[in-house]
Amino acid sequence: MLYGGMKALRIYTSTMVLGKPGELWDSSRHQVHLYLPTLGVMVPMTVGDMIFFNASELPHLVIKLDEADKHKRTIVTTFTCAQMADVLEHPPAFCLLWIRP
């Protein structure tokens, strides 16, 4: 896919839920669910859960906590492009010294 004559980057994202395991929130209102509208899927997420996916092909939304519960968790989302993912999958030779088989 091209945008303005430039090849579009594939963007990957990882989403991780941090918080205290004993301090849960009311999930009946789908709080902290990962919504993937193109798939018609809503995935419940709780403390310790992590998901990694191609965000450039899967639009997504993490449903926020209600005001009373928002202190109970932190969502960490990181992004990386396809080029970085390729390096992680096929590290350069000089990195192989530090990677265990």
Domain count, the chain: 1
Cα separation, 66 vs 26, whole angstroms: 9
pLDDT of residue 7 exceeding 60, the answer is no
pTM: 0.58
pLDDT of residue 101 exceeding 60, the answer is no
pLDDT of residue 3 exceeding 50, the answer is no
DSSP string covering 25-92, please?
--GGGTTTEEEETTTTEEEE--TT-EEEEETTTS--EEPPPPTTTGGG-EEEEEEEEHHHHHHHHS--
Tens of pLDDT, residue by residue over 15-56, are 888 877 777 777 777 777 888 889 999 888 888 888 888 887
Range of the domain at 81: 2-98
For residue 43 the two structure tokens come to 């995935």
Amino acid code (one letter) for 77: T
pLDDT, greater one: 68 or 80: 68
**Whole-number pLDDT of residue 99:** 56
